[in-house]
Structure 1
Amino acid sequence: MHIAPTMLPSNPSWTCELDRLEAMEMLLTAVDKGSLSAAARELKIPVSTLTRKVADLEELLGTRLLIRTTRKLTLTDAGTSYVASARRILDLVREQEHEATGEFTAARGELVVTAPVQLGRLHVLPVINQFLAQYPDITVRLLLSDRNIDLIDAHADLAVRIGELADSNMIATRIGSLRPVLCASPALLQRHETPREPNDLTKYPCVVFNSPYLSPWRFRPPGTGKLLTLEVQPRLEVTAPDAAVCAASDGVGVTLVFEHDADEALRNGQLKVLLPQFEVEPVPVHLVHVQRNLMAIKLRHFIDFSAPRLRESLSRFGKKHRH
């Protein structure tokens, strides 16, 4: 079953097409968030308003779109078809709005970029600062988060992503890779015998950076090709790599972070790399954006400007230890 939203009958309760587009936006938010209450919080409107808009939409269509339970929302077959159509329509509307403001013919408007916190601060932000100096009619909103922000949900133009990419709907530009390194302070190594293999780490205090890219700790024994996963008991667990580096530098424990996170501490001798021969392969880093019919000039300029600069910035952090 397929419903064509543009062929819907008129209804006196709908004052204009904007009402219908607004209801579509509310419906999609409810589906993406999983509940009407979560969608209402996201949209900053009363639940009753959102419920009424969705009910009006169902009345207009003459069919149910959602099956509501106390725990979750489930789309009907008609709802699944309608949501897919609504996404295409709203994407087209946004493209037309951008085109009307000249964003497809001139380098202007707001660019929304997402990136992991530390990678964004150390590498992406300096490039953005240079970009802004060259393009005075473009503004940038940088969203820093160590979780992968959904580009469509956040209305973001571009994301910097660490790790292998699973979403085939994204266009990706590889800008480098990051080397995971195990490191500890000289003071800690004076109190403990230097580890010779990953299993020795069970005897060490550990500082764990709770990261989807680095947890659990993984190693590749030389000559075997096998992947070893090590469950360590953290003496300290943190949610930011700079905190892990700081604690490890103070001798709290051994930590596993990306090399660029510990670069300064490694160069000034506060930390030393351990077990380099057991390192896994560097983790890829990409610029990703949603595939659309048209690409805004501001996004094309930013990709062309940032990709080579980010490759250069990351170039010395993506090489696995060589014996």
Structure 2
Amino acid sequence: MDPLDGIAAFARVVDSGSFSTAADRLGLSKSAVSAHVQRLEERLGIRLLNRTTRRLSMTEAGAAYYRHCARILAEAEAAEREASALQREPRGTLRISAPDSFGWMHVAPAVPEFLRRYPELSVDIALSPAHVSLVDEGLDLAIRIGVLEDSPLVVRKLAPSRLVACAAPAYLDKHGMPREPGDLAKHNCLCTSLLPWGDEWRLAGKIGEARVAVGGSFRSNNAEMLRVAALDGIGIALLPTWAVAEPLRTGALRRVLDAWEPPASTIYAVYPSNRLMSMKVRAFVDHLARCIGRTPYWDEGL
């Protein structure tokens, strides 16, 4: 028997003064309530109630035990009300993990409006290039890009993450524009561990896929650092459009090999699997999806 069942039955009997009324409040039969109280007494090894055909009263031990039971039930009911309120209206702290560059450029700008909409919420964002454990780190939600490992996490697709090869006009004026994928081997290519293929760039065109081993004088696992290096004319970078959309629109960067594009990746929201999804998680994922748009806003006009 769950000890709380006996505690609830005993407290309700005391509150109402009868087994029948307590049974009605608990939605149980009178015999079930009586059995709960009897098992509680047997487990404790004491008599809690004096029962006669005309009168029901607490023993001295029962009165002392009741004070503790009443406090336990009050706290349990308060916990239920608080949990129910969290499901009705987002509140508390939402803990998020996001990739450093994407989090800074596209998750952080979505937060102010979200906080204005839900003033009883606070947001704690940890930026990291690595996939961290949501359970171990006490996180509610993570934004991830790329191939996901099999896990019990719930996954929601937010947007595609397109990749483009690009370089500054100054670099291309000095070193020339690559005409086909194989030409990349002759250029200073900015390498990164962010790509699943390492230093072998893969590009798809009308005639199939091309794979080119590249190398260069600069390497980083951070998209913003690679973008800055490309803008400074160091070399050719292979970067997601969410990182270089603005310099591509202004002409600060130019696309290289327009007819060739690497396979797109995907941006996901992942969160622990449970029967009742936290309202604060649902609210933020929906909000971020609206901010990004059906077609990602950074890809508009590209």
Query: Is the TM value for this pair above 0.5?
Result: yes
Q: Name 1:287's counterpart in structure 2.
A: 269
**Inter-CA distance 250–106: structure 2 relative to 1 (3 Å threshold):** closer
Structure 1: runs of 5+ lacking an equivalent: 1-5, 7-95
Q: Name 1:248's counterpart in structure 2.
A: 230
The reply to whether residue 258 of structure 1 matches residue 243 of structure 2 is: no
Aligned counterparts of 1:212 and 1:154: Cα–Cα separation in 2: 25
Aligned counterparts of 2:156 and 2:167: Cα–Cα separation in 1: 34
Q: Name 1:135's counterpart in structure 2.
A: 118
Displacement of 1:212: 4.3
What is the DSSP-based 3-state SS (H/G/I as helix, E as strand, rest coil) of the residue aligned with 2:191? strand
The reply to whether residue 317 of structure 1 matches residue 296 of structure 2 is: no
**Inter-CA distance 109–223: structure 2 relative to 1 (3 Å threshold):** same
Count of aligned pairs between the two proteins? 225
1:295-310 to 2 correspondence within 5 Å?
A: 295-310=277-292
What is the DSSP-based 3-state SS (H/G/I as helix, E as strand, rest coil) of the residue aligned with 2:198? coil
Q: 1:159 aligns with which of 139, 142, 159?
A: 142
Q: Name 2:176's counterpart in structure 1.
A: 193
The reply to whether residue 174 of structure 1 matches residue 181 of structure 2 is: no
Aligned counterparts of 1:283 and 1:220: Cα–Cα separation in 2: 13
Aligned counterparts of 1:260 and 1:293: Cα–Cα separation in 2: 33
- State the Cα RMSD in Å: 2.7
**Inter-CA distance 311–174: structure 2 relative to 1 (3 Å threshold):** farther
Q: 1:275 aligns with which of 244, 257, 261?
A: 257
Deviations 1:92-134 (A, max 9, x none): xxxx998674333442111111111111111111112111111
Aligned counterparts of 2:225 and 2:293: Cα–Cα separation in 1: 26
What is the DSSP-based 3-state SS (H/G/I as helix, E as strand, rest coil) of the residue aligned with 2:218? strand
Deviations 1:161-213 (A, max 9, x none): 11133324121221111211111111111222311122211111122233145
Aligned counterparts of 1:234 and 1:269: Cα–Cα separation in 2: 23
TM-score w.r.t. the length of structure 1 is 0.63
Aligned counterparts of 2:175 and 2:225: Cα–Cα separation in 1: 22
TM-score w.r.t. the length of structure 2 is 0.67
Aligned counterparts of 2:242 and 2:250: Cα–Cα separation in 1: 14
**Inter-CA distance 202–97: structure 2 relative to 1 (3 Å threshold):** farther
Q: 1:148 aligns with which of 121, 131, 151?
A: 131
What is the DSSP-based 3-state SS (H/G/I as helix, E as strand, rest coil) of the residue aligned with 1:277? coil
Contact 1:98 1:104 in 2 (8 A): no
Aligned counterparts of 1:106 and 1:193: Cα–Cα separation in 2: 57
Aligned counterparts of 1:261 and 1:205: Cα–Cα separation in 2: 20
The reply to whether residue 237 of structure 1 matches residue 234 of structure 2 is: no
Displacement of 1:278: 1.7
What is the DSSP-based 3-state SS (H/G/I as helix, E as strand, rest coil) of the residue aligned with 2:242? coil
Identical counterparts, % of pairs: 30
Structure 2: runs of 5+ lacking an equivalent: 3-76
Aligned counterparts of 2:212 and 2:137: Cα–Cα separation in 1: 35
**Inter-CA distance 281–105: structure 2 relative to 1 (3 Å threshold):** same
Displacement of 1:236: 0.9
